[in-house]
Amino acid sequence: MQQDQKTVYLETMGCQMNVLDSELVLGQLRALGYNPIEDMARADVVLINTCSVREHAEQKVLSRLGALKKPKQAKRDMVIGVIGCMAERDPDGIFSKMPHVDLVCGPGELNKVPALIEDIQAGRHRAIALAQSLSRKSTPLQRALEYDSVEALDLAREPAPGENVLQSYIRVQRGCDKFCTFCVVPFTRGPERSRPASHIIDEAKMLADRGAKEITLLGQTVNSYVSQDDAREVRFAELLERVSAVPGIERVRFVTNYPGDFTDDILAVMRDIPQVCEYLHIPAQSGSDAVLKRMRRQYSAAQYVELIDRAREYVPGIAIASDFIVGFCGETEADHEATLKLIERCRFKNIFVFKYSPRPGTVAHKREADDVAEDVKRWRNMELLSLQEGIASSITQRLIGSTVEVLVEGFSKAALKAQEAEQTRGEEVGWRRSDQLVGRTRTDQIVVFPGPPDSIGSFAAVRITAATALTLHGTLVKTCSAEEEVRTVPSIARSLPVLGGV
Ligand code: SF4
């Protein structure tokens, strides 16, 4: 790095949408000559991309910002910025608690980050950009113009030379119109807007040209995607087909889904198009109709279960993951039992469980009492996780002896740790055949196995020899070189025992 090169440190908290936003902001700054570094205290610009979904996530941001007070005193011209959902939700709170913060920018205005940094460096005090401009009160024309401006962020995407794009995200939708009573997203990310299909396909082609093999389409309610293409409506099932047809893309995933909007044409595409993986993340949030109603989720527990059954009928071997909130306002023991029953019935591959915490601005925060005691929330959380652990174990145990298709992502955590220790001891790091690699099956199971480092980025067939609830262990059967064309491996996998599911 040249001595006078500007540096940026960007830390990301929260969901995949934030991961993608950070990548795009970093791309913009790189184009302006910024070099990303890992030492926050030495950076010219420090950005924290924040999450507001839970109180705990915001506390983490504040503690990170607190840790920046001293570095800022030592380096007065350092620019500290808070971007993302927390910036949108509580700009005044951030400035009053953390006066050393210079920049606050909501997720709908991230294309303005470089200009805001320039303003600050030019001597102005503090810069702020919030997506009130994208509010639901804007006129359609205002919205269209403003949307074009934020769309520019995705359109300008330019991976850095050598950047690992093997598994890439593409945004297909912004915002959400569901207004679940516990959720802050419709306020921080604005109304639901689908990106034009042609932009998404162009982005997939660009990523495939740079080496992407797996694409994950992102949206808050991705299955409700709908856009106009030459005055014709494009719905999510068609978008999935079109992305799958991009040469070089071997796997397509999508997160996350809203159960109430899920239609069978998407299941049919999952069944018929080999590139679309047999994996569905579809948050249930609760198994109790009374709680679902108070959450303003627009489906019942029975409708949710019926959808899961239908998904399994259409796509044999599909793995299904879900989210749950425990201790939502007024949740009784009977409601909790109903959630346990639903989990037992649906037999998920994995679940994410969150203890309810009221978020300012939401309907639940305004109108409902947060009346489930913290220790009860903790207990219910544990109960759900321990039930799920048994289910996940029984699913992974059944895979022992089978051979699965794995996209090799890199070295396992243990291998990386061992390599780091070797480096610290000053030993030469030699890649041994016993180095553990890690990859993922089509059903999103993590597989650890010893293999040659040059298989990273390729598909491999791995025979499963052992399993825990969350990880499969195995031995390499074969890797697929670039010449061998990866499509041969999926055909092996499709004749194998069902992955995930029951
Ligand atoms: S569907 Fe509900 S939980 Fe999901 S982002 Fe929209 S409001 Fe939030």
How large a percentage of the chain has pLDDT more than 90? Answer: 81
Residue 2 forms part of a structural domain: no
Q: Are residues 87 and 222 in the same domain?
A: no
Any idea what the CATH number is for the domain that residue 488 is in?
2.40.50.140
Pocket test for ligand 1, best of 178, 261, 294, 363 (most atoms within 8 A of CB): 178
Residue 218 forms part of a structural domain: yes
Range of the domain at 448: 403-494
Residue pLDDT, tens place only, 436-445: 999 999 999 9
Pocket test for ligand 1, best of 176, 177, 281 (most atoms within 8 A of CB): 176
Q: What's residue 145's pLDDT?
A: 57
Q: Distance between CA 462 and CA 398 in Å, rounded? A: 15
Residue 280 forms part of a structural domain: yes
> Atom 2 of ligand 1 has which residue's CA nearest to it?
180
Q: Are residues 269 and 366 in the same domain?
A: yes
Residue where one domain finishes, among candidates 395, 426, 458: 395
Query: What is the pLDDT averaged over residues 172-196?
Result: 95
Residue where one domain finishes, among candidates 395, 424, 440: 395
Stretch among 93-97, 122-126, 307-311 having the lowest mean pLDDT:
122-126
pTM for this model (two decimals)? 0.91
Token pair belonging to 435: 């180095």
Q: What's residue 498's pLDDT?
A: 25
Q: What's residue 483's pLDDT?
A: 41
Residue 145 forms part of a structural domain: no
Q: Are residues 110 and 205 in the same domain?
A: no
Any idea what the CATH number is for the domain that residue 69 is in?
3.40.50.12160
Residue 311 forms part of a structural domain: yes
Q: Are residues 113 and 68 in the same domain?
A: yes
Residues in the chain: 502
Q: Distance between CA 224 and CA 217 in Å, rounded? A: 12
Any idea what the CATH number is for the domain that residue 378 is in?
3.80.30.20
Q: What's residue 462's pLDDT?
A: 97
Q: What's residue 501's pLDDT?
A: 26
Q: Are residues 24 and 47 in the same domain?
A: yes
Residue 96 forms part of a structural domain: yes
Residue where one domain finishes, among candidates 357, 372, 395: 395
Q: Are residues 124 and 211 in the same domain?
A: no
Q: Distance between CA 460 and CA 442 in Å, rounded? A: 12
Contact (Cβ atoms closer than 8 angstroms) between residue 108 and residue 189: yes
* Cα–Cα distances in angstroms (integers) from residue 326 to residues 293, 297, 358, 405, in the given order: 15, 15, 12, 35
Looking at residue 299, the DSSP 8-state letter turns out to be S
Q: Are residues 386 and 277 in the same domain?
A: yes
Residue 434 forms part of a structural domain: yes
Contacts of 390 (CB under 8 A, 6+ apart): none
Q: What's residue 229's pLDDT?
A: 86
Contacts of 319 (CB under 8 A, 6+ apart): 278, 279, 280, 349, 395, 443, 444, 445, 499, 500, 501
Q: Are residues 487 and 440 in the same domain?
A: yes
Residue 6, pLDDT > 70, answer yes
User: Between these two residues, 224 and 480, which has the higher pLDDT value?
Assistant: 224
Task: List pocket residues of ligand 1, CB cut-off 6 Å.
Answer: 176, 178-180, 183, 185-186, 220-221, 258
Amino acid at 140: P
Residue pLDDT, tens place only, 274-326: 999 999 999 999 999 999 999 999 999 999 999 999 999 999 999 999 999 99
Please provide the average confidence, as pLDDT, over all residues in the chain.
90
Token pair belonging to 249: 């893309």
Query: What is the pLDDT averaged over residues 58-85?
Result: 95
* Cα–Cα distances in angstroms (integers) from residue 427 to residues 153, 266, 287, 450, in the given order: 44, 52, 54, 21
> Atom 4 of ligand 1 has which residue's CA nearest to it?
220
Q: Are residues 88 and 212 in the same domain?
A: no
Residue (of 255, 188, 181) closest to 215 by Cα position: 255
Q: What's residue 152's pLDDT?
A: 87
* Widest pairwise Cα distance in the chain: 65
Beta pairing class for 350-355 and 319-326: parallel
Residue pLDDT, tens place only, 344-379: 999 999 999 999 999 999 999 999 999 999 999 999
Residue pLDDT, tens place only, 194-206: 999 999 999 999 9
Q: Are residues 391 and 407 in the same domain?
A: no
b or e along 16-48 (b: 16 or more beta carbons within 10 Å of the residue's beta carbon)? Answer: ebbebbbbbbbbbbbeeebeebeebeebbbbbb
Domains in the chain, number: 3
Q: What's residue 125's pLDDT?
A: 81
Instruction: With cut-offs at 50, 70 and 90, classify the pLDDT of residue 493.
Output: very low
Residue pLDDT, tens place only, 377-424: 999 999 999 999 999 999 999 999 999 999 999 998 888 887 777 777
Q: Which atom of ligand 1 is nearest to the CA of 221?
A: 1
Q: Are residues 344 and 442 in the same domain?
A: no
Q: Which atom of ligand 1 is nearest to the CA of 184?
A: 8
Instruction: With cut-offs at 50, 70 and 90, classify the pLDDT of residue 500.
Output: very low
The Å distance, Cα 183 to ligand 1 centre, comes to: 6
Q: Are residues 212 and 316 in the same domain?
A: yes
Q: What's residue 196's pLDDT?
A: 95
Residue 301 forms part of a structural domain: yes
Instruction: With cut-offs at 50, 70 and 90, classify the pLDDT of residue 140.
Output: low
Residue pLDDT, tens place only, 7-39: 999 999 999 999 999 999 999 999 999 999 999
H or E stretch covering 29: helix 16-31
